[in-house]
Structure 1
Amino acid sequence: MNDDSAPKDPNTDPVLQMRVLREHVASVYASHTVAISAHFAWSVAIVLFGYPRVEPALQVWVLPWLALLTAVDAYALLAPRWTPDVPLADTPRWARRYTVLVTLVSVTNVPAIFLLMVVNDPVVTSVATVVIMGSWTRVAQARWPIRAAVLGYGLPTMSGLIIALAWRGGDLHWLLAAFCTVNLVLTLRTGVQQNKRLTKSLILQFENEFLAKRLNEQIEATRRAGEEKTRFLAAASHDLRQPMHAIALFGAVTEQALSGQPEKKNAEHLLRSVDALGSSLDAMLDVSRLDAGTMSVESKAFELDVILLALDRTFSPQAEQKGLALRVRTSGLWVRSDAHLLHRMLSNLIDNALKYTRRGGVIVRARALGDTVRVEVRDTGIGIAPDQLGQIFEEFYQINNPGRDRARGLGLGLSIVKRLSHLLRHPVLVDSRPNRGTRLRVMVQKAEAVVTLPVDLLLKDLSPSMRQASIAPHLPERILLIEDEAEIRAAMIELLHGHSIDVVAVASKTEAFEVLSRPEAASRPFSMLLCDFRLADGEDGLEVGLCLRERLGPAVPLLLVTGETAPERLRRARVAGVPMLFKPVSAAALLKAIAELTTRRTSRRYGTHTCENSA
């Protein structure tokens, strides 16, 4: 099967041969005017020099010859020229045309050579021979791109000179004739070699251009594939998140309603399944957000042990369930990084190590190396073959998982680590031995100890009752919900009503402004706006929320709850400064976010917008 992506053999590719010839023709025509003008000036000089010195019987032939030469040179100058607009297929014709022109010019040189010979002056003969040989060599260099043109100019002129010298006879003339013969042969040989070099150089140039074009096409195809993948993940994630969000909320309501009853375990199992699926969707979301550049980095100094202890509490139950030993060694070291993103990085590394370790365990430790802290995650798992080390950070790549065991996730964990590594500028080094284990090291900038600790990482380890007790006093009294999915609206109403929050739910911008136009909206103002990002009929939830916020006042917080993962939409929300939660959202996470926004109510605007039909 033919491979169109590979350069073709120049000996069999007529198009490539034609392009090379086109460059040769362009090269010789570029110096054509100067060459013909110089030839005419040289001919006139010979006439002025030789005419007074020849016999009167020969003088009658000089002027006709000069007229013929003038006509030939004028024709060569005024004849149609090759231009870049000439079709590629016509290139051979223009090469032949040029060869004919220079051959005619060369033929007109022959009478001038015999004119110099009849002067019968050894000095004149010697000087003229050297000048003609030098002129021929220079002209040949200018015509090397077209081999036929070199022959067409060289053979008439130099053959005429050699014959004229031999005709004069004598040792001097025979010696000069021998020099001219050697010069002719060597110059023609050099011309052929130079023509081959020029041709080869042009072929390499065109092949490189071809390869560069193919490379650009492949880069563009890869870029398009990446965009299509991102759009697919965004669409699939959004469509999956919508029903999962409703299930999660209804599950939380059901769990609360079944409190103290045996059936509560069923609701707990349901929520755990939702959390598992949510983790997979969150992994796809993280990839999309990292590709979109919507993850901000808040670098600060903190004690690394805070993250390590949180990781120990998170993964110890998972390790115990698999019969593995998880050893997290504290170090007392301080680093400078984004605590949450570094926590995510190390979480993915430990999770991956536990998934691929059947016996033994995982060790997590940190060591200082000059100005760097090396955080190491080492396991006794199945290891990685050397030829697979370069692939483990690719999306959806999993080692020894042809059946796509769901327990091993989607294969996005290390892909996210790679992206976070670039974002945080924390290089990740990996070495592994098959059947012996793997060691991954994250290089983090070392920092001096300060007072502030990122204790918010430990909040996730509080019991649900403690979290609920700390959140309840900060929940708002009244929320305006804009959500086009009926099931999600119903689930949100049930959940928020269960926490003593008055909710008015609408499906569109028009309905929202109708609610705000009622007298009740003035007597009982809304404390918060809760809006889906992608509404029905193409309405943009971000724009709708900002318009409603302009109506209610800048002190009313706006929270987007969305299944959207499209990079451009995420970037817009970030630029607008609007916080987002990504579906499926657990009840605890939703309530916590609502409480935090309520306690942080401020007059800061998210943006200035002109809203249509907002009255």
Structure 2
Amino acid sequence: RTHYRQLPAVIVAPALGGIFTAWVLWRAVDTHYLLIGLAGVLSISVLRIGLYKWYQAEDADASLHPRWRFFAIATATVSGVIWGSAAIFLYPPLLPEYEVYMLVLLALIPVAPVAALAVYMPAFYAYYIPCIAPFIIMLGLQDNRAERMTALLLIMMMGATLTFANKYSAMLAEAIRLRLKLADKKEALEQSITVKTRFLAAASHDLRQPVHAMGLFIESLASSVRDIDSRRLLSQVTESVVTLRRMLDAMLDVSRLDAEVVETQRRSFRLNTLLIKLHHEYISLAEQKGLRFDCVDSRVVVNSDPVLLERILRNLLTNAIRYTRQGGIVLGCRRRGECVQVWVCDTGVGIPVSRQEEIFHEFTQLQNAERNPGYGLGLGLSIVKRLADLLKHKIQVRSREGTGSTFSIELPCSAERPQEMNLPAEEYPAACPEHRNLLILIIDDDKSIRLGMTALLESWKFKATSSATGHHALKKIRERGCVPDLVIIDYRLSQGETAPDVIARLKAELDDQIPFIIVTGDTAPDRIREAHYAGYLLLHKPVDPDRLKVCINALLDPAARVVAP
């Protein structure tokens, strides 16, 4: 295969060499033999063009057929004979001044295609020996001692050329073998990554279902628990569910980045607005651990996506507070030419120099040997790195073990007028309107989720009805004659049904203005892309009840405030 891939070089070079030689020697040799030789060289080139196109059209199995070896050896033999015949019919030239050119030609022609033909040694032998042997014989038969010495020199060069060609061929064969081995290992690694991704997606989906149902039950239970001990116990259970939810949300962030559905919206804004907001939110967490948290003011205007930049800085601040036992944290920035470096500096445990690249890998935690679930899954810095790459922002880390760490991200400054930032808040405490008495339809093939969602909605004074499939939901609506005011539907249902399919049927038979909320527990990149482009409000399991409440209020009351998750 490699031989035929290199045929273009073997086609062009001899043809050009033959034409140039004919032009140079036109008056120095018998033109009759010269034209026959040129015609032979050009004919072989044309034949090789046909073979090359034919080979390119063959499939992988047919390209290994023995006939291609025969064609390679046959064309190489004929080409070698044609060039070798030049020594018999054209040497010595009629004009002595052309003898130097002929000697150079005799030396170069045999070795010229060594790089192209030595990939398949039988073809190289078939060309080289009939090409150089006549030259050696003709020079050896001359009366001139210099020409006989040249023949001897060609014999030595022949041995060196054959040795080089064999070593080159062996080296190339080894390179091809290693390349194929590497390709096999790459394919195996890609399959392993695919299997791991599918396993994590399946495990994440299966785990999200009960956690989602648990959160719904706990929230609906909260309004009915009155005594202090029970509320304290419920609070501890809620905290555990929130920890689980944060872990699953981190895995979701990775899956969304894998699915390439995270969109950037770059604009110019005042960096200080974001820094002050984060300082106000995190100072209480730092003080709870006895840490000092300072923020350096700045007047600089930067160009970035404020929402994604906030996520990056939140992850860095969370890590800084988590791994700092004493001292403090500083959030600030420094102007560097046309850029500004935003940095988070702490006096924490620090990171060994040898492991500073490793911390950006997924599921890496250097300071959590006991696997404390409160420290997360080790995805924070991986998400930071991938978001920074998405925004094309350079991220750096400087750290000394036992002293602390400084993480910095480089942003481009902007001369444009800054826009107001509308960053999403972490919590939405909007109260649920009382006694709406509106009907919400739940479609989910998981019974526990249907029960939990029904209990939660009823605790919010809504009417709720549920179905396991789209067909059953339509049947129930027809029988009862009541159209729901809102539909909450799982993205993937049983028997291959998906939310967009069911929504299309509901809209065709009912009011086209019914609002929908799609809920999904899938974290596989393909599933996330499908759900993302469905065009409806999308929530990921386990859903935060407060966020669900705000989304419901916003869809039922256009005046309500909502931020899509």
The one-character-per-residue Cα deviations of 1:520-558 (angstroms, maximum 9, x if unpaired) are: 22xxx3211110111122211232134323433332211
What does residue 499 of structure 2 align with? 541
Matched, 1:425 2:392: yes
Alpha-carbon distance, 1:417 to partner: 0.5
- Tell me, in whole angstroms, the C-alpha distance in 2 between the residues paired with 1:553 and 1:321: 52
SS of 1:257's partner is coil
Residues 381 and 436, structure 1, Cα contact 8 Å, conserved in 2: yes
What does residue 391 of structure 1 align with? 358
Match of 1:148 among 114, 129, 140: 129
- Tell me, in whole angstroms, the C-alpha distance in 2 between the residues paired with 1:424 and 1:105: 66
The one-character-per-residue Cα deviations of 1:43-89 (angstroms, maximum 9, x if unpaired) are: xx87999xxxxxxxxxxxxxxxxxxxx9xx99xx99xx997865687
Residues 445 and 23 of structure 1, relative CA distance in 2, 3 Å threshold = closer
- Tell me, in whole angstroms, the C-alpha distance in 2 between the residues paired with 1:180 and 1:593: 96
* Residue type at the aligned position of 1:337: S
Residues 476 and 528, structure 1, Cα contact 8 Å, conserved in 2: no
The one-character-per-residue Cα deviations of 1:204-243 (angstroms, maximum 9, x if unpaired) are: 6666655655555555555444433332222111100000
Please report the TM-score for the alignment, with normalisation by the length of structure 2. 0.77
- Tell me, in whole angstroms, the C-alpha distance in 2 between the residues paired with 1:345 and 1:317: 20
What does residue 455 of structure 2 align with? 494
Once the two structures are superposed, the pairs formed by residues 507-586 of structure 1 within 5 Å of their partners are 507-518=468-479, 520-521=481-482, 525-586=483-544
What does residue 278 of structure 2 align with? 311
Residues 529 and 549, structure 1, Cα contact 8 Å, conserved in 2: no
Residues 106 and 132, structure 2, Cα contact 8 Å, conserved in 1: no
Match of 1:278 among 221, 245, 249: 245
- Tell me, in whole angstroms, the C-alpha distance in 2 between the residues paired with 1:188 and 1:29: 28
* Residue type at the aligned position of 1:346: L
Alpha-carbon distance, 1:126 to partner: 9.0
Residues 472 and 206 of structure 1, relative CA distance in 2, 3 Å threshold = farther
- Tell me, in whole angstroms, the C-alpha distance in 1 between the residues paired with 2:360 and 2:83: 67
* Residue type at the aligned position of 1:234: A
Structure 1: runs of 5+ lacking an equivalent: 1-17, 50-69, 114-124, 166-176, 603-615
Residues 81 and 131, structure 2, Cα contact 8 Å, conserved in 1: no
- Tell me, in whole angstroms, the C-alpha distance in 1 between the residues paired with 2:519 and 2:184: 39
Match of 1:454 among 414, 422, 425: 422
SS of 2:420's partner is coil
What does residue 590 of structure 1 align with? 548
- Tell me, in whole angstroms, the C-alpha distance in 2 between the residues paired with 1:567 and 1:381: 35
- Tell me, in whole angstroms, the C-alpha distance in 1 between the residues paired with 2:2 and 2:334: 62
Residues 573 and 579, structure 1, Cα contact 8 Å, conserved in 2: no
Residues 140 and 262 of structure 1, relative CA distance in 2, 3 Å threshold = same
Aligned-pair identity (%): 29
- Tell me, in whole angstroms, the C-alpha distance in 2 between the residues paired with 1:86 and 1:370: 65
Residues 140 and 191, structure 1, Cα contact 8 Å, conserved in 2: no
Residues 100 and 554 of structure 1, relative CA distance in 2, 3 Å threshold = closer
Once the two structures are superposed, the pairs formed by residues 118-267 of structure 1 within 5 Å of their partners are 127=94, 135=102, 137-144=104-111, 145=114, 146=125, 148-160=129-141, 162=142, 165=143, 177-193=144-160, 220-267=187-234
SS of 1:262's partner is helix
Residues 336 and 444, structure 1, Cα contact 8 Å, conserved in 2: yes
SS of 1:244's partner is helix
Residues 440 and 488, structure 2, Cα contact 8 Å, conserved in 1: yes
- Tell me, in whole angstroms, the C-alpha distance in 2 between the residues paired with 1:267 and 1:252: 10
Residues 242 and 186 of structure 1, relative CA distance in 2, 3 Å threshold = same
The one-character-per-residue Cα deviations of 1:237-276 (angstroms, maximum 9, x if unpaired) are: 1100000011111111122110354311111111110000
- Tell me, in whole angstroms, the C-alpha distance in 2 between the residues paired with 1:48 and 1:219: 58
Residues 478 and 528, structure 1, Cα contact 8 Å, conserved in 2: yes
Residues 217 and 207 of structure 1, relative CA distance in 2, 3 Å threshold = same
Residues 585 and 22 of structure 1, relative CA distance in 2, 3 Å threshold = closer
Residues 391 and 107 of structure 1, relative CA distance in 2, 3 Å threshold = closer
- Tell me, in whole angstroms, the C-alpha distance in 1 between the residues paired with 2:68 and 2:499: 57
- Tell me, in whole angstroms, the C-alpha distance in 2 between the residues paired with 1:305 and 1:294: 28
Alpha-carbon distance, 1:136 to partner: 6.0
What is the aligned residue count?
519
The one-character-per-residue Cα deviations of 1:69-123 (angstroms, maximum 9, x if unpaired) are: x9xx99xx99xx99786568779986997799689969976xx99xxxxxxxxxx
Alpha-carbon distance, 1:576 to partner: 2.5
Higher deviation after alignment, 534-543 or 94-103: 94-103
- Tell me, in whole angstroms, the C-alpha distance in 1 between the residues paired with 2:273 and 2:448: 40
* Residue type at the aligned position of 1:513: L
Please report the TM-score for the alignment, with normalisation by the length of structure 1. 0.72
- Tell me, in whole angstroms, the C-alpha distance in 1 between the residues paired with 2:285 and 2:452: 31
* Residue type at the aligned position of 2:475: E
Higher deviation after alignment, 189-198 or 282-291: 189-198
Residues 366 and 376, structure 1, Cα contact 8 Å, conserved in 2: yes
SS of 2:410's partner is strand
The Cα RMSD (Å) is: 4.4
- Tell me, in whole angstroms, the C-alpha distance in 1 between the residues paired with 2:246 and 2:279: 19
What does residue 58 of structure 2 align with? none
- Tell me, in whole angstroms, the C-alpha distance in 2 between the residues paired with 1:601 and 1:539: 33
Match of 1:407 among 371, 374, 389: 374
Structure 2: runs of 5+ lacking an equivalent: 56-64, 115-124, 561-565
Residues 376 and 441, structure 1, Cα contact 8 Å, conserved in 2: yes
Residues 100 and 152, structure 1, Cα contact 8 Å, conserved in 2: no
SS of 1:517's partner is helix
Residues 475 and 598, structure 1, Cα contact 8 Å, conserved in 2: no
Residues 581 and 476 of structure 1, relative CA distance in 2, 3 Å threshold = farther
SS of 2:481's partner is helix
Residues 557 and 601, structure 1, Cα contact 8 Å, conserved in 2: no
What does residue 606 of structure 1 align with? none
Alpha-carbon distance, 1:584 to partner: 1.2
- Tell me, in whole angstroms, the C-alpha distance in 1 between the residues paired with 2:519 and 2:4: 65
Alpha-carbon distance, 1:418 to partner: 0.9
Residues 306 and 455, structure 1, Cα contact 8 Å, conserved in 2: no
Alpha-carbon distance, 1:433 to partner: 1.4
Residues 259 and 528, structure 2, Cα contact 8 Å, conserved in 1: yes
Higher Rg of the two aligned structures: 1
- Tell me, in whole angstroms, the C-alpha distance in 2 between the residues paired with 1:408 and 1:511: 43
Residues 268 and 419, structure 2, Cα contact 8 Å, conserved in 1: no
Alpha-carbon distance, 1:335 to partner: 3.8
Matched, 1:359 2:340: no
